[in-house]
Structure 1
Amino acid sequence: MGTNYAYPSQTEMNWYWANKLRIMRVPVKWERLQLELFGPLAGANDDMTRLDNVINHFEKLGGTVILDVHNYGGNKAGGKIAFDNPIVSTAAFVDLWVKLAARYANRAVWFDLMNEPEGDRQGAIRVAAYMQCVVNAIRARTDALNMILVEGQRYSSAQFWVREGQAAALETFYDPADNFCFSPHSYVDGDASGTSAVCVSGSARLTAITKWAAERGFKLWLGEIAGGDHLIPLQENCLGIMTQAYTYIRDQSPWLGVSVWGGGRRWPLKYEFRFDPANYVDAPNTGCFKAVQPFLPA
């Protein structure tokens, strides 16, 4: 803590709120919130307390926190989630979320169940199955009616959602409380990996999943998107591409909104997707922030 990772500070959160950013996605590690599978949530002075402090502060400001278990479909205790994995079983994943849901039931917290399932055992059908189990358990075993975000295989990529089977696997997905949305991710670089500041495609990668969701009455939340900083030489075209993407999300009915990747003080100043200013007092805003600024609440 403080060396390899940190939680948002009150200074950061105050800056977000002052700049009309109303929903903050907070990536956390399963292993830090629950030190042993099926064990209790971490205790006092541990990560659960730190997370509580973040949620309490941003909620007090009037904002909503997206609690994002950022584990790519697994746990270091024993690999990827699967019904037939004797260690990191679907039951273990359910256990984590039942405990988290009970803790934050009906607070200003959305539940992003698992970031970017990928790798062994993370096919479309398996991911859909264990996501459904978690949703069923949250609604049946807790009082939580919070919004739930459901991601998909292939790093939850929007451009692969329909083409590579995640859409088909989720056709009958159901939430007893009817308060969920699917949460794809979409980067605008050449291969949509989010590893380059070169901006290539804005909304084209969103059209297939938008059409699928609209036809079936599903809602969508774009969980991650980022492009290069248009204030940096050779990245000037990123403003037009990001504006196109944000405009498309704003104007298409399945989309509830977007969380932009690259927030937080720990990113290097030269990180291509850095969203925050160099300091929260008098430093100029980044191009990544300026690109989304026209789409923030009045």
Structure 2
Amino acid sequence: MANRFLSDLDPTTAWAKAAVDGKLFTCGELVRHAAECHLRDIRHGERRDRATPQRTSDNMQWIVNAVRSRTNCAGKILIEGASFSSSRNWVSNGQAAAFDRLYGPAGNIAFSPHSYYDADASGTDASCVAGAQNRLDPPLSWAAVGDREIFIGEQAGSGLDAVCQFVLPAAYAKLRDHPNCIGWTRWGGARRRGSTYAYRLDPSNYQTGEDTPQMKLLLRFLAQNP
């Protein structure tokens, strides 16, 4: 079966191919290494210790070390995990344990799980599952025990059904109230996903600027929690 993640339609893979091939921009050693790791992990999956929690931790450690030792960048580095960095699997698949040994030579790192609230946490279904906001609990508890910072790099639910309309604000509130969470972003998909995309945050109509139901739900929470 063809590997769908090698398609040029996937923006990260397209970027990685361009980086390895030296196209579009001058590719430095750090960027080239990260791109080659991305392509190898996609091609080989779990074989040869590719894309496993420990290999992901090793790659992240290499990148952190390289950024701190070879550049003057002191900004925060976000650390993502294997299995699409899913919060549901963050502890259960061993990613948290693998990250227990990761360190920042200059500090200023945060771990970045993703959290989708459909049945399999893949971010491919418009429906939410009751209680899905609790998928955030394992990585948040892990962060609290180790005094680590958490930044939820992606999260989404459609907001179109009654379950999502409860789960999403509950998830936002959970993150707002947790002392180890420094922030989060809401996945919206943008224009290329099309007008019927379940998680769409772009306006329903670009000429009028009318908000989608998904955006209205998000704005309602933000208005109540300035």
Same fold (TM over 0.5): yes
2:159 and 2:214 in contact (8 A); partners too: yes
Residue in structure 1 matched with residue 113 of structure 2 by the alignment: 184
Return the alpha-carbon distance in structure 2 between the equivalents of residues 31 and 254 of structure 1: 36
Query: Counterpart of 1:188 in structure 2: which amino acid?
Result: Y
Which of the residues 237, 248, 260 maps onto 2:174? 248
Check 1:236–1:244 CA distance in 2 against 1; reply closer, same or farther (3 A cut): same
TM-aligned CA deviation for residue 126 of structure 1 = 1.0
Residue in structure 1 matched with residue 214 of structure 2 by the alignment: 288
Which of the residues 258, 263, 282 maps onto 2:184? 258
Residue in structure 1 matched with residue 38 of structure 2 by the alignment: 74
Return the alpha-carbon distance in structure 2 between the equivalents of residues 289 and 256 of structure 1: 22
Question: Residue 267 in 1 paired to residue 197 in 2?
Answer: no
- TM normalised by structure 1 equals 0.62
- TM normalised by structure 2 equals 0.80
| 1:74-124 Cα shifts (integer Å, max 9, x gaps) | 22xxx228xxx9xxxxxxxxxxxxxxxxxxxxxxxxxxxxxxxx6441111
Runs ≥4 residues deviating over 3 A: none
Residue in structure 2 matched with residue 51 of structure 1 by the alignment: none
Q: Which runs of 5 or more structure 2 residues have no equivalent in the other structure?
A: 1-7, 28-33
Question: Residue 126 in 1 paired to residue 109 in 2?
Answer: no
Residue in structure 1 matched with residue 99 of structure 2 by the alignment: 170
Query: Counterpart of 1:29 in structure 2: which amino acid?
Result: W
| 1:193-244 Cα shifts (integer Å, max 9, x gaps) | 11111111332101111111011111111111111132xxxx2331111010
Residue in structure 1 matched with residue 75 of structure 2 by the alignment: 146
Return the alpha-carbon distance in structure 1 between the equivalents of residues 205 and 143 of structure 2: 40
Return the alpha-carbon distance in structure 2 between the equivalents of residues 245 and 28 of structure 1: 32
Q: Which runs of 5 or more structure 1 residues have no equivalent in the other structure?
A: 8-25, 49-69, 86-117
Check 1:220–1:261 CA distance in 2 against 1; reply closer, same or farther (3 A cut): same
2:57 and 2:99 in contact (8 A); partners too: yes
Return the alpha-carbon distance in structure 1 between the equivalents of residues 117 and 132 of structure 2: 6
TM-aligned CA deviation for residue 144 of structure 1 = 0.7
Residue in structure 1 matched with residue 137 of structure 2 by the alignment: 207
Return the alpha-carbon distance in structure 2 between the equivalents of residues 199 and 262 of structure 1: 16
Check 1:138–1:249 CA distance in 2 against 1; reply closer, same or farther (3 A cut): same
What SS does the corresponding residue of 2:195 show, helix, strand or coil? coil
Q: Size of the alignment, in residue pairs?
A: 207
TM-aligned CA deviation for residue 156 of structure 1 = 0.8
Return the alpha-carbon distance in structure 2 between the equivalents of residues 151 and 135 of structure 1: 12
Return the alpha-carbon distance in structure 1 between the equivalents of residues 107 and 206 of structure 2: 39
Identity of matched residues, %: 36
TM-aligned CA deviation for residue 27 of structure 1 = 9.9
Q: CA RMSD in A?
A: 3.0
Question: Residue 223 in 1 paired to residue 153 in 2?
Answer: yes
| 1:255-280 Cα shifts (integer Å, max 9, x gaps) | 11111112422221111111111334
Residue in structure 1 matched with residue 85 of structure 2 by the alignment: 156
